[in-house]
Amino acid sequence: MKIGLMSAWNTNSGASIHAEFIGREWVKMGHNLTVFTFYRYSFHGTAIVGEDEDYVIRCFTTSNYKEPDLDARPFLTTDYEIFVTEDLGMLPYDLLAKIFYPHIKRKAKTVTVIHDGELKKDPRFYQFDWDAIVCFDERYEKWVKTAYPKDRVYVIPYPCHPLKLVSEDEKIKLREKFNLPINRKILFFFGPAAKYAVETIPVYIELSKKYPITLLLVSKNEEALSGFEKAKDKIDVIIKEETPSLSELYNYLHAVDALIFNKPSPRWVVLSSTLYQCIGSGTPIVALSSGFTEDFKDEIFKYKNFDELKNALIDIFEETERFKKIRENAIKFVKERSAEKIARKFIELFEKLLES
């Protein structure tokens, strides 16, 4: 199958993570993939975190760039029978519309993957006649069906990073690689979202009276850097100003004892690409109970207040039955939502469209 995918790629955005997980699986399956993505000077996300594959073409800006631009030539000259967009609102959709009907839709079935959590006010967002509209779960489906024909809306879950576990010996080697303490409990915070975890630092200071705790921050976010820097006189803190690639992120995850995710709910439907990105590591995730965690049940540790956060960390440190059960549930969840399985669901949809 020949697939054209217009999306963020090799950046640290949720749309990029989704596109890469399924797109790379399509390539493994033997499908012919072309990725149309953002120029390096105008992209969706805060950093480019990977090297582009030979099937990647950088040919447009974000929709909110000061002078939006799209090079039409790759879209016109590339051969594809399925055309997919991810997170349309970030793409230069007015420029895309100029070639959508006379060129793209003439040669391909068209699919859009919805990342927005609510109806958009801008009517230009709805100018495309998609053959299929994909959303992640029933929360998204509820509002999507108010804007698009119900028989064209499909629910395909967000994919997880493939399961990748390490032994205790490998964990120690990774700690040595990163110059991390071997015999301490290491709590991990990374990326822009780490700024929300600053308010939780008093919990770790309190727990450090009983457990040897180190906080590891890997981020370039100024609020996070400042907040964790100020805590250094009260608890052991290691700060690395980096935006790690996916492989390096997993090295960090495998070196630590838990990932902390304290991001509060927005007013719209949302999910956390970070959690889907990280859960395949097998490292326990401790997350604030919010809209970002509604699609998880007992696969992660959820907390509503600081006492529940503290108890979750104690369960992890002591490796209680609750810890073992959540770890078991997480592994099962990753297998059920594997990138391979989700990519196949998309292929089944594409085959259905091509038959119609």
Burial of residue 1, with CB atoms counted within 10 A of its CB: 0-12 exposed, 13-18 middle, 19 or more buried = middle
Domains in the chain, start-ordered, CATH in brackets? 2-159+338-355 (3.40.50.2000), 168-336 (3.40.50.2000)
pLDDT tens, residue by residue, 218-261? 999 999 999 999 999 999 999 999 999 999 999 999 999 999 99
CA distance 351 to 218: 42
pLDDT tens, residue by residue, 10-19? 998 989 999 9
Alpha-carbon distances of 335 from 17, 34, 162, 299, 328, rounded to whole Å = 17, 27, 8, 12, 11
- How many CB atoms are closer than 10 A to CB 90? 21
CA distance 338 to 23: 13
For the whole prediction, is pTM greater than 0.85? yes
What is the structure's pLDDT at 38? 97
